[in-house]
Structure 1
Amino acid sequence: MKYWKSLTLIMAISFTFLFTAQAQNAEYGLSNTVSNLLKSDRSLSFGGYGQIDYNQPFGNNTLQNGNLDVHRLVLMFGYRFSDKLSLVSEIEVEHVQEIYIEQAFLNYSFAHYLQVRAGLMLVPMGIINEYHEPTNYHGVERPLIDANIVPTTWREIGIGFTGIIPEMAMRYQAYLMNGFSSYNGTAQLSGKNGLRKGRQKGAESIMLKPGLAIRAEYYGLLGLNLGLSAYAGQTQSSLFKSLSRDDQTDIARADSSVVSVKMLGVDIRYQRKALEIRGQFYHTWIGNALEYNLFTASNGVNNDLGSTMVGYYAEVAYNLFYRAKFTKTELVPFVRYSAYNTQASVAEGFVKNEDYQKEVITGGIDWTIVSGVVVKADVQLIKPKSSESYSQAFDAGIAIWF
């Protein structure tokens, strides 16, 4: 694709220039609850975040019910065993009744530039998967590419290294982690849902081979943060359980139930005074999609997992109260254009489903009452390629982070 080649060239030139540029006393970008817990000098520390949403479809001359939801309430606890060893844990309740352990890992710090982590961790892919506290992004809901291309919140069990190198204005992460589940008696991956249903989330996860997740961030120019993320691994399948190495027929069958996943992400954040600009781009390659789709056919109908998936967005926001002397609150209108396609390309002999290619326009306003409390409202327009019109929805919500 021409746009992919152009983007790769532009980002390569940008990174080459920026890594040789002199830092201007810039600080490392966004913070999240994990970073706050690890910075705490208390033996026991805690934090959390949550959101309550109202989603109301409208238009198309039809009456539609709105949806009110305590979308999530999350409590995070950190415990410092020593100056070097800490525990981070995150307990999440979604939709009032679904309980998850979202993170549970040990962090051993040799120095600020070298830390070892092991346990259930977030996969370092893009902005939102790591910085998903609802006060950290504009709009009531997370950007849709961070649900349909990168299956946020994406967490798996693993081990690896992370650190900050101030001299280079750089942060890095590199982990070996268990991969997606592609088959557990039925197909877990598809064109409609992408990789999302394949997340194992640390719950009795299976693994034959680990995947590799890496990320580098550069923050050396004032107000600018650039990120480059990559993931490569093979999915996991229940068919490899107790499989004889000499049984070539069963091995070939099991091989048809897995795919390879390679994902590349590029993101940019710029904030200077009242202006904020963000952008993300993801490209995912799926290997063995043809064999997988044939093997996971149901009722005579082949599965439709794409061979590549692509998503991107660009967003602009502006704090209207930046220079206001009568208030310390923030009032931030924003607009975001997104596009994604879970079937950017398909295996030979398959036809793309135009319902899976969508563009999204989101515009709204966020009012930060005090630091950590934001009232949000937006309108979201979604149009699949198969349609001539946009579906419309009004969203409102309250977001907290402490």
Structure 2
Amino acid sequence: MNKKLIAAALGAAFLAPIGAMAQETDLAKRVEQLAAELEKVKAELAAQKAQAAAAPAPAPAPAAPAIRAAGAPLQAPSNAPAPIAAVTATPASAMTQDTVLTGYGEVNYNHPVRNASGSQTDVRRAVIGFQHRFDEKTKLVSEFEWEHAVASAEDQGEAEVEQLYVEREFAGGLRAKAGLFLMPVGLLNQNHEPTAYYGVERNFVETRIIPTTWREAGVGLTGEFGEGYTWDAGLTTGFDLTKWDPASSEGRESPLGSIHQEGQLAKSRDLALHGALNWRGYPGLLVGGSVFTGKAGHATAGFPAQGARVTLWDLHTRYTPGAWDLSALWAYGRITDTNALNATFVGNPTPVPSSFAGWYLQAAYKLWQKSDFTLSPFARFESFNTARSYSALPAGLGVPSAGYERVATVGANLLVGQGVVLKADYQKFRDDKSQDRVNLGVGFSY
């Protein structure tokens, strides 16, 4: 340091003024400080390396979970646990926007007013879903459902894949999907979580006329245009009329529900087309409709209804001004070319109907809200007929068409936070009064 000062002083005496010498001295001090800090950092790094070399080798890391951390590749080693186990072991904080866990479920209690012994409690359904985004434009949507608590050969429960499709987004808001997906029909089919509808049970029109939860395998397109218009179109599997059981009451309960295929080894000789159009151009208002049509014979050898076609239309609207929630829906279905088929069913109680229809009106009001609680009373009136008409048969061999059943439902939903709902309602049937009942339920969605 003394040599540098002497050199600086000599330089100042012969080559520069006194001010320049001061600047040179300050620069030299800064250089020395930086050099000292650098030596300190080097010493610390050397000590860390020595400590790491002396420490024992770490234990092997646990298998990587199926849900990846941000930026990591989605792959698991050969000894990775099954996906469900991985999700159970993964804390919520480790979940990323790349893979999202969803789910919903409900437990319901039904008490027939005129037959208390028929009261029952049922774990109606439990659903777990995974949505994985491969990139900003491509995602996988999947949902797996269990109904009635236990699924086995001796029990009434079911285990099923509710959705399983890949979606890709293109320019202009156009989206394409392929796989097993819900049909864009009505108000309930695509939005059927317990927190999304009023009443303990799903309404009759959107369960018996429009089957719930109705999904098909195929390809679909979704897009937008104009001011608030959205559209859906697709080519998918359809119904299988060869499954109709004339000795069972299932077809009377829900004509299409008894012959839908749900992606299970679905006959695909005859495919179906669907289209839907919705408008949301006014705040709080939705107006839309849909159509689904396809043949249902599938060139089955010896089947007498090869030309049978299933077609279903619906019109729907929902308006939410302020605290009100108002909705209405009409659905109408047809099955053609059933004459020869029904002739083989003579003597059975449930031939194939040629038409079926239903509608409902519903009003709900957000009456009370405090903290995380929201109470919404509602009333719904619906009318439906699962056997509105039959094709012509010789006199004395046909089954008379059924009348419209009319059901009035009054009740309330108590929303707890954003994901839990408590429900209670009373349902009054006009014709089959033995069905009058009180319903209680709890549901959740996340």
The TM-score normalised by the length of structure 2 is: 0.72
SS of 1:293's partner is: helix
Segment drifting more, 199-208 vs 181-190:
181-190
> How many residues were matched structurally?
339
Q: Which has the larger radius of gyration?
A: 2
Partner of 2:374 in structure 1?
A: 330
SS of 1:183's partner is: helix
Equivalence map 1:349-360=2 (5 Å): 349=393, 350-354=398-402, 357-360=404-407
Cα 1:63–1:190 change in 2 (3 A) is closer
Kept in 1, the 8 Å contact 2:349–2:399? The answer is no
Partner of 2:75 in structure 1?
A: none
The offset of 1:184, in angstroms, is 4.5
Kept in 2, the 8 Å contact 1:293–1:302? The answer is no
Partner of 1:110 in structure 2?
A: 170
Structure with greater strand share of residues:
1
Cα 1:50–1:301 change in 2 (3 A) is closer
Cα 1:112–1:44 change in 2 (3 A) is farther
Kept in 1, the 8 Å contact 2:243–2:258? The answer is no
Cα 1:133–1:305 change in 2 (3 A) is same
The offset of 1:258, in angstroms, is 6.0
Cα 1:126–1:185 change in 2 (3 A) is closer
SS of 1:272's partner is: coil
Structure with greater helix share of residues:
2
Q: Choose the corresponding residue for 1:88, options 135, 141, 145.
A: 141
Kept in 1, the 8 Å contact 2:388–2:401? The answer is no
Distance 2:96 2:228 in 1: 24
Partner of 1:54 in structure 2?
A: 109
SS of 1:196's partner is: coil
Partner of 1:215 in structure 2?
A: 276
The AA in structure 2 aligned to 1:391 is Q
Partner of 1:141 in structure 2?
A: 201
Q: Choose the corresponding residue for 1:127, options 179, 182, 187.
A: 187
Cα 1:257–1:58 change in 2 (3 A) is farther
Distance 2:334 2:350 in 1: 17
SS of 2:258's partner is: helix
Query: Is 1:306 matched with 2:353?
Result: yes
Partner of 2:9 in structure 1?
A: none
Cα 1:114–1:392 change in 2 (3 A) is same
Deviations along 1:128-151, one digit per CA (max 9) or x if unpaired, are 111111111000000011111011
Distance 1:183 1:383 in 2: 33
Partner of 1:375 in structure 2?
A: 422
Partner of 2:263 in structure 1?
A: 202
Q: Choose the corresponding residue for 2:320, options 271, 279, 285.
A: 271
Q: Choose the corresponding residue for 2:213, options 141, 153, 159.
A: 153
Q: Choose the corresponding residue for 1:72, options 125, 135, 138.
A: 125
Distance 1:368 1:186 in 2: 41
Cα 1:85–1:364 change in 2 (3 A) is same
Kept in 1, the 8 Å contact 2:297–2:303? The answer is no
Kept in 1, the 8 Å contact 2:425–2:438? The answer is yes
Distance 1:223 1:284 in 2: 29
Q: Choose the corresponding residue for 1:172, options 212, 231, 234.
A: 231
Segment drifting more, 390-399 vs 185-194:
185-194
Unaligned runs of 5+ residues in structure 1 are 1-39, 241-249
SS of 1:206's partner is: coil
Distance 1:111 1:312 in 2: 38
The structure whose RCO (Cα within 8 Å, separation 6+) is larger is 1
The offset of 1:397, in angstroms, is 0.5
